[in-house]
Amino acid sequence: MPLSLPCRYYRVYTDLDVPSVEANFQFVERDLPLPVDQTALVLVDVWSTHYIDSWLARAKAVTEARIVPILESAREIDMTIIHAPSPPVADRYADAPELTRPEHTGPDWPPADFRGIYRRGPYAEFGRNQEPILPPTYKRYETELCIAESVKPLEGEHVIHTGPQMHDLLAEKQILHLIYVGFATNWCVIGRDYGILAMNERGYNIILVRDATTGIEFHDTIDTLNATAMTIREIETKQGWSTTTDGFINAVKNTA
Residues 211-229 have pLDDT tens digits of: 999 999 999 999 999 999 9
pLDDT (average), residues 159-164:
96
Number of domains within the chain:
1
Q: What is the CATH number of the domain that holds 222?
A: 3.40.50.850
User: Beta 241-243 vs 39-44: how paired, if at all?
Assistant: unpaired
- Tell me the whole-structure pTM to 2 decimals: 0.94
Asked, for residue 91, whether it belongs to a domain, the answer is: yes
The rounded Cα 89 to chain-centroid distance in angstroms is: 15
Residue 9 has pLDDT above 60, yes or no: yes
The rounded Cα 213 to chain-centroid distance in angstroms is: 8
Tell me which residue range forms the domain holding 228. Answer: 3-99+145-255
Asked, for residue 72, whether it belongs to a domain, the answer is: yes
